[in-house]
């Protein structure tokens, strides 16, 4: 009887199968890791209208000055909570984050105004940081980052920074850039991007919102910017949860960053956001390496060049490699 029960249990376990491998944790060192120099984030907001912004400054300890990252949200994703874990990661490394609110709401202003409202917010935020009880901004090494429509705005500002009165960016990261039909911040070509700007455009093969089109156009037409890569994320369903390679992979919720705007985009983000290898080994790693590369010449091989460290996406819990990023470099 005992042998029969053992046989039955073994058969049951065999039928259920072994548990699926789980995704990789955040790397312990290097770009994408929690190698933080600050334990806290000071948050302040002057974001009442479409020219407004939130400021996130490193604290505990508080530095006298810090370099700046401008982060442009996706269309309607005004609330910084939607990207909060990523923003926290950036700030605790010692960066000030300016988070422009380039929209009043989902319908206003017209998309043609987005670059102007964003650049006004950047100018005002830099002025605010130079006064009062703030960490002073180091304008050299300015980084522009943006998701979705925010990616389109970041690329537009990279071309037209001088006309719009903002500092020249040293590096730009575009996460699933696109505009859909509201193409006011879209350029036909991007050869006006300065030659000494370092540019990464990351797209995902299952992006059914804006697709890969704008990311590829920016990469292909920014011909005067030699240090540029197009990075393509593919899905990987080997483990649980699977990596889907969709449009909103960069969402990373953090309730401490709640700006109080609970619109349709916010509610959608609550339902779809997840933190996984695409954050740690994709967006976070690449932005960290980009910042290091343009500011100190370090980790350039992680940010650029179709190298193994750039493509690496971690390992599933059983040791199998997560499907690598695909990288296109100029001349491919």
CATH code for residues 22-328: 3.40.50.1820
Q: According to the model, what pLDDT value does residue 18 have?
A: 59
Q: Which residues of the chain have pLDDT under 70?
A: 1-18
Q: According to the model, what pLDDT value does residue 19 have?
A: 78
Extents of the domains making up the chain: 22-328
DSSP 85-124: HHHHHHHHTT-EEEEE---SSSS-S-GGGHHHHHHHHHHH
Q: According to the model, what pLDDT value does residue 13 have?
A: 41
Q: According to the model, what pLDDT value does residue 49 have?
A: 84
Cα–Cα distance for residue pair 306/235, rounded to 1 Å: 19
pTM, 2 dp: 0.94
Q: According to the model, what pLDDT value does residue 175 have?
A: 98
Residue 163: Cβ within 10 Å count: 10
Cα–Cα distance for residue pair 234/203, rounded to 1 Å: 9
Q: According to the model, what pLDDT value does residue 15 have?
A: 41
Residue 194: Cβ within 10 Å count: 16
What are the CA-CA distances from residue 237 to residues 25, 59, 102 (Å)?
17, 39, 36
Are residues 125 and 50 in contact, defined by beta-carbon separation less than 8 angstroms? no
């Amino acid at each position: 009887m005992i042998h029969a029960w053992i046989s039955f249990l073994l058969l049951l376990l065999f039928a259920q199968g072994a548990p699926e491998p789980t995704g990789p944790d955040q790397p312990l060192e290097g770009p994408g890791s929690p190698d933080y120099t600050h334990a806290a984030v000071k948050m302040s907001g002057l974001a009442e209208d479409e020219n407004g912004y939130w400021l996130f400054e490193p604290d505990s300890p508080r530095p006298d000055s810090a370099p700046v990252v401008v982060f442009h949200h996706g269309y309607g994703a005004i609330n910084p909570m939607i990207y909060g874990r990523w923003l926290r990661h950036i700030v605790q490394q010692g960066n000030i984050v300016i988070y422009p609110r380039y929209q009043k709401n989902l319908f206003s202003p017209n998309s043609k105004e987005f670059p102007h409202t964003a650049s006004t917010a950047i100018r005002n935020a830099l002025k605010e940081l130079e006064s009062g009880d703030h960490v002073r901004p180091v304008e050299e090494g300015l980084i522009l980052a943006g998701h979705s429509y925010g990616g389109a705005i970041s690329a537009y500002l990279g071309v037209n920074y001088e006309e719009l009165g903002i500092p020249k960016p040293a590096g730009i990261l575009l996460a699933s850039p696109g505009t859909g039909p509201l193409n006011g911040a879209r350029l036909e070509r991007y050869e006006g991007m300065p030659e000494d700007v370092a540019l990464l455009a990351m797209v995902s093969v299952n992006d059914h919102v804006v697709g890969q089109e704008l990311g590829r156009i920016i990469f292909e037409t920014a011909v005067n910017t030699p240090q540029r890569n197009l990075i393509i994320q593919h899905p990987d369903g080997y483990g649980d949860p699977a990596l889907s390679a969709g449009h909103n992979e960069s969402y990373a919720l953090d309730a401490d960053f709640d700006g109080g705007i609970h619109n349709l985009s916010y509610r959608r983000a609550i339902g779809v956001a997840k933190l996984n290898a695409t954050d740690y080994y994709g967006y976070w790693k690449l932005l960290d390496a980009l910042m290091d590369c343009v500011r100190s010449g370090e980790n350039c091989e992680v940010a650029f060049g179709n190298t193994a460290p750039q493509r690496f996406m971690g390992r599933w819990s059983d040791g199998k490699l997560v499907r690598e990023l695909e990288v296109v470099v100029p001349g491919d």
